[in-house]
Amino acid sequence: MEGKVILITGGAVRVGAATARRLHAGGARIMIHYRSSADAAERLRDELNKLRPDSAATVQGDLLDPACYARMVDETVACFGRLDALINNASSFYPTAVGEITEKDWFDLVGTNLKAPLFLSQAAAHALTHSHGCIVNIADIHAERPMKSYVVYSIAKAGLVALTKSLAHELGPNVRVNAVAPGPIMWPEDDPSFDELERRRIIAHTLLKREGSPDDIARAVAFLVNDAPYITGVILPVDGGRSASL
C-alpha cells in the first residue's frame, strides 16, 4: 500500500478512524474527510503525521451539499498528487418507524448513505481510472435483512449494495468497486433501541457469540484495497456470522 492515496469519508471517528489508521500503517497517505468533527479530524491527522510526515491531511464537507464532491476529490489530488482509493464510510443512522418518517429523514439518510457515495464516486472516477484504483463502500448486513423501525436507513443501504455492483460494471476494468457489510461492530451512540438486553440478543444471534471491533472492518477494507486485485462487485459481510443465522 506504500504511497497510495486514500480518501475516507467520515474518517475522523469510529470505524472511519480505525480504517484510516490501518491503511496508514500499511503505507498509504490518507485524506480524512469530516463534516463537523474538526477537532477529531485534526487530532487524527496530527497523530498520523507524527508517525510519517506529510502523510495525512483533512478535508471538510457536508455530503448533503452537491458542491462538495468534486472539491473534495480536487483537494485530495492537489495535496497528494493522485487518488488510488475512495472509502465511502460516512453514514447517518437512526430509526424511522412507519408513521413517523419525514422528508427530512429521507433526504438525510438516503443522502449520506446512497446519494453521496454515488456522486463522490462519480467525481473520483477519472482520478481512480488513471491510477487503476478502487472504491470500497461501507454497507450493512441489514441492506438485505432490514431492521424493524429502520425503514429509510435499510432502503438506503440496499441502494448502496446495488450501487456497488452497478459501479463495478460501469467502472471496470480499470476501477474495482466492492463493499464491506458490517454486523454488530460499534453500538450506536445515544440510541435507546440498543439497550443492554437488545445488545445481548443481537450478540446471541452471531455465530461467534461476540461483537466485532472497528479494526475488523478496517482489516476487511485494507484487504479489498490492497490484496484483492481480482475481486470486484462483491459485498463482504463482516458480522461474526450474524447474517448466516438471521
**What is the greatest pairwise CA distance in the chain?**
52
pLDDT for 121 equals 98
Give me the CATH number covering residue 201.
3.40.50.720
Question: What are the φ and ψ backbone dihedral angles of 150, each rounded to 5 degrees?
Answer: -115, 50
**How many domains would you assign to the chain?**
1
pLDDT for 204 equals 76
Catalytic residues: 153
Range of the domain at 130: 5-245
Cell of 238: 463482516
Q: Which of 111, 110, 99 is nearest to 152 (CA)?
A: 110
Question: How far is residue 184 CA from its own chain's centroid?
Answer: 15
pLDDT for 108 equals 98
Predicted structure pTM score: 0.94
Cα–Cα dist 174/172, whole Å: 5
pLDDT for 245 equals 67
Tens digit of pLDDT per residue, the chain (246 long)?
Answer: 899 999 999 999 999 999 999 999 999 999 999 999 999 999 999 999 999 999 999 999 999 999 999 999 999 999 999 999 999 999 999 999 999 999 999 999 999 999 999 999 999 999 999 999 999 999 999 898 888 899 999 999 999 999 999 999 999 999 999 999 998 776 666 666 666 777 787 777 778 888 889 999 999 999 999 999 999 999 999 988 877 766
